Chain A
Amino acid sequence: MSNKEDVALLAHLMRRAGFGATKEELARYTEMGYEATVDELIDPPEDRQSGKTAMLLRYLPGCLLPGGTPTPGQYNWMYHMITTQRPLEEKVALFWHHVFATGNAKVDNCDQMLEQLTMFRKYGMGNYREMLVQLSKNPAMIFWLDNNENHRDAVNENWGRELLELFSMGVSNYTEVDVREASRAFTGWTIMPKLPRQPFGRFPWRYEYLGEDHDDGEKTFLGYTGNFNGEDIIDIIVKEPATARFICRHLYNFFVADEVQVPAWTIEPARDEEALDMMVTAFEESGYEMKAVLRLMLNSDFFKNARFAKIKSPAEVVASTLKLVGAYKTPEPTLPSIGSEPGYMGQALLDPPSVEGWYTGSEWINSGSLLARINFVADRVANTSFPGVRSIIGDMKAAGVTSPEELLEASLEHMGFLEIGDETRQQLLDHAKAEGNMDWSNEEASGTRVGEMLALVGATTEYQFG
């Protein structure tokens, strides 16, 4: 039994530090052990690929188009989530997309959004200061928050404000004057070439620093005075205690358990102050290294004990379901339509509703999104033409699953070692009992029955948690 518990814990780890895991992957991780798995997630060997990009390009060359419907960037990313061999790197990229929310609604150039995503993959698990410097120079971000319109003689506060409010310290830790001064320090940080979209269309941007458009005058920011440039501002921000707390609370909310929504953070204490303190200490003592805080968090008891303490985000629902049923291991022609699915559940990838990103936890759920989640999962796990579903059916048959109880237990295991309440268990069991024992002699009917049980497990309230 202890082996089953080990696998269940690794399934939890992979839901959080990745997008779920296939049976084969779980077997490999179980063989390696928990801590060694965390080590590999944090420092993946070079030969483990972040997604079969070359194959995606060969099958669907449109995946790198800057425009198009459905949005090429969305299915490109979804394909990486499903096929990556560097799952934590991909999950951390999604984490930064939540925090540094940039939207294609304005950027209107998927290629540029994917470039930002590549930057998140490359720097996301590195040093947070370096991450902010890269972010400040990221063309999609510069355009999104108008820093290309932030001039020595006409200051645009958009980037300066959000850098403080949403990307580092959180509200109420700075003044309007600080916003102004930070914005001045980032004048001249712009993108080239500055061709208007009309009539030239979309074109690749690159970061450029224009010294003659930079306000080199004296600035007073958070009590420090000097002729600050952008990197000086970042140096000050990173060392503010509010920053480490804000970033670690985001990490806790994203990886461990659902917190109250971000605007309440200045008022409501953290869900687990002790855990947050441990994370903040690891972050600060390492000099703001993401790997240090991720390693502490994933190996902690508070993480291991937080099984099913989060409502799954739509991206997690879609990617983990597709991994489970073994869909899109190669870029099948219908892949583009999959990119839109998280959007129907309230999380349009690469296109958050605003720079504040998404509300999380139970805010993912409303009658529309709940229907979309349940229907998406049910439609796939009940489809016996998917290789992953056929493999589950084969496993159950080989294991000699016979009684309604055994059918339910096996279904829960295959759906991520899901833990359900007594009442739900009884209702599912009553439903299964009405059909009696499994009859494996009828191949089609028994397959359909397994698929239907998986769909009903996917339709429970419990399955909304991950």
Chain B
Amino acid sequence: MTSTKKDPVIVVLQLTGGNDYFNTVIPYNDPLYYDNRPAVQYRQEDIIKVDDQLGFMPTMGPIKNLYDQGKVAVLHGIGYADSPRSHFRSMDIWHTCEPDKVGTEGWAGRLARELDPNKENVLSAINFGHGLPRALVVPGVPVAAIADLETYGVLTGISDDQQRMKALDLFARMYSPAVGSGMVTDYLRSTGMEAMTGADIVKVAPEMYSSSVEYPNSPIAAHLKDIAQVYLADLGTRIFYTQHGSFDTHAGEAGAHPTLWKDVSEGISAFFEDLHAHGTGENVVMYLFTEFGRRVHDNGSGTDHGAAGAAFAIGDAVKGGMYGQYPSAKAEDLEQGDLVPNYDFRGGYTTIIEDWFGLDAKPIVNGSFEKHSFL
């Protein structure tokens, strides 16, 4: 990589709860769609046609605009064999790349470790939200968690400056690494140190930021705006992670699903518009995934847990288009009533890790998996 080129960056947007693939990228000319969805179907005239087979659901207009600019790749039939159809387990599998046993390390945390092996930057990876998703958890890898960029710091309540300096100095000594203090305490110490250092650095981001772009009023747009601020402050963050949900539309899907995608689509659109308005963003790829798709036939008011889903890659560097095959919705091709995954989810990660970050994906995703050429 030449010195004038910016380091590649990824923004992972987790669609929590199991997004309904069949109702997101819709085979609108297939009678099986309408037969299987008597209760929760989008009308053919409302679907945003992408080609003569597939269309996006009605509130994905802003994503369709990006698609038309060649900046959106859709990865069809993504998932893994024998879906347990449990949110808990399924999200764990996506996070750890371990479908057969319980993993302890997250793929994005491992990627962060490869990107910053000497832990030179405590802000290499940041989750925007409360807590950390397992995808970012690897013992010894610092990951910041920023629920709200505006109010981030240690012992912020001590108002006397001199006393606060002394307290922070003590804090730094109490949280510095020690031999033989046990795994959990080691973890507490390193987390405390990262928090203190990260808070110090990141406070410049909102101070530097100004923008003419208006973000819509939704939780996901607020997180994406925080991400834009940290990205634009150029603090060396390579992995941004956030989530939106819940896509767990067992019931009431007809009401909830369009709003969820409206918020996601408009938020993403504003985010890229903001980066472009600042003359940057070409080194950002956004990746959207969900833990599973939903059952093909609806249950009368929503859809139950299923298997295959779709992932999306979005950005200036993305080679837009449809990748892979839409799984057959014919009754004889379904497994337990679900679309059968035909593309391993670890292949999507592999493409990003190898073709975007230029790293070996095998140790991160636990094996070799087929890539798509969207980067």
Contact A370 to B188, CB < 8 A, known contacts A263-B89, A354-B87, A423-B178: yes
Contact of A464 among B132, B157, B188 (CB under 8 A): B188
Chain A residue numbers with a CB within 8 Å of B155 are 374-375, 378, 455, 459
Does residue B199 face the partner (Cβ distance < 8 Å to A)?
Answer: yes
In the complex, are the beta carbons of A456 and B170 less than 8 A apart? yes
One of B26-34, B230-238, B244-252 at the interface: B244-252
Contact A366 to B251, CB < 8 A, known contacts A346-B130, A355-B87, A460-B174: no
One of A124-132, A150-158, A318-326 at the interface: A150-158
Does residue B110 face the partner (Cβ distance < 8 Å to A)?
Answer: no
Chain B residue numbers with a CB within 8 Å of A460 are 174
In the complex, are the beta carbons of A456 and B154 less than 8 A apart? no
Contact A427 to B163, CB < 8 A, known contacts A356-B87, A369-B130: no
In the complex, are the beta carbons of B167 and A456 less than 8 A apart? yes
Chain B residue numbers with a CB within 8 Å of A330 are none
Chain B residue numbers with a CB within 8 Å of A262 are 88
**In the complex, which residues 168-185 of chain B have their Cβ closer than 8 Å to any Cβ of chain A?**
170-171, 173-175, 178, 181, 184-185
Distance (whole angstroms) from the CB of B2 to the closest CB of chain A: 33
| CA of A149 to CA of B302, assembled, Å | 9
| CA of A368 to CA of B84, assembled, Å | 31
In the complex, are the beta carbons of A461 and B157 less than 8 A apart? no
Contact A151 to B181, CB < 8 A, known contacts A354-B17, A367-B194, A456-B170: no
Residue of A nearest to B189 (CB): A461
Does residue A371 face the partner (Cβ distance < 8 Å to B)?
Answer: yes
Does residue A146 face the partner (Cβ distance < 8 Å to B)?
Answer: yes
Chain B residue total in the interface (Cβ 8 A): 61
In the complex, are the beta carbons of B195 and A171 less than 8 A apart? no
In the complex, are the beta carbons of B143 and A367 less than 8 A apart? yes
Does residue B5 face the partner (Cβ distance < 8 Å to A)?
Answer: no
Chain A residue numbers with a CB within 8 Å of B146 are 368
Contact of A369 among B17, B84, B131, B255 (CB under 8 A): B131
In the complex, are the beta carbons of B300 and A151 less than 8 A apart? yes
**In the complex, which residues 349-407 of chain A have their Cβ closer than 8 Å to any Cβ of chain B?**
353-356, 361-362, 365-371, 374-375, 378-379, 382
Does residue B144 face the partner (Cβ distance < 8 Å to A)?
Answer: yes
**In the complex, which residues 150-164 of chain B have their Cβ closer than 8 Å to any Cβ of chain A?**
152-158, 163
Chain B residue numbers with a CB within 8 Å of A146 are 250-251, 302
Contact A461 to B192, CB < 8 A, known contacts A149-B250, A456-B170: yes
Does residue B92 face the partner (Cβ distance < 8 Å to A)?
Answer: yes
Distance (whole angstroms) from the CB of A270 to the closest CB of chain B: 15
| CA of A206 to CA of B305, assembled, Å | 27
In the complex, are the beta carbons of B170 and A149 less than 8 A apart? no
Does residue B191 face the partner (Cβ distance < 8 Å to A)?
Answer: yes
Chain B residue numbers with a CB within 8 Å of A421 are 181, 185
Chain B residue numbers with a CB within 8 Å of A455 are 155, 157-158, 167
In the complex, are the beta carbons of A264 and B102 less than 8 A apart? yes
Contact of A263 among B102, B152, B158, B187 (CB under 8 A): B102
In the complex, are the beta carbons of A459 and B171 less than 8 A apart? yes
Chain B residue numbers with a CB within 8 Å of A171 are 84, 86, 89
| CA of A365 to CA of B174, assembled, Å | 17
Contact A354 to B246, CB < 8 A, known contacts A146-B251, A367-B194, A456-B170: yes
Does residue B304 face the partner (Cβ distance < 8 Å to A)?
Answer: yes
Chain A residue numbers with a CB within 8 Å of B199 are 371
| CA of A353 to CA of B145, assembled, Å | 16
In the complex, are the beta carbons of A370 and B195 less than 8 A apart? yes
The 9 residue pairs across chains A and B that have the minimum distance between CB atoms: A368-B145, A367-B195, A379-B157, A356-B88, A461-B188, A346-B131, A146-B250, A154-B300, A366-B132
Known contacts A370-B191, A378-B157; 16 further A-B pairs (Cβ under 8 A): A149-B300, A149-B302, A151-B300, A156-B250, A166-B88, A263-B89, A354-B16, A354-B17, A356-B87, A362-B187, A362-B188, A365-B187, A368-B127, A368-B132, A368-B146, A455-B157
**B residues in contact (CB < 8 Å) with A:** 16-17, 84-89, 92, 101-102, 127, 130-132, 142-147, 152-158, 163, 166-167, 170-171, 173-175, 178, 181, 184-185, 187-189, 191-192, 194-195, 198-199, 246, 248, 250-251, 255, 299-302, 304-305, 336
Q: Can you report 19 A-B residue pairs in the complex whose CB atoms are below 8 A from each other?
A: A146-B251, A148-B251, A161-B86, A354-B87, A366-B143, A367-B195, A368-B130, A370-B195, A371-B199, A374-B155, A375-B153, A375-B154, A375-B156, A382-B158, A421-B185, A423-B178, A452-B163, A455-B155, A461-B189
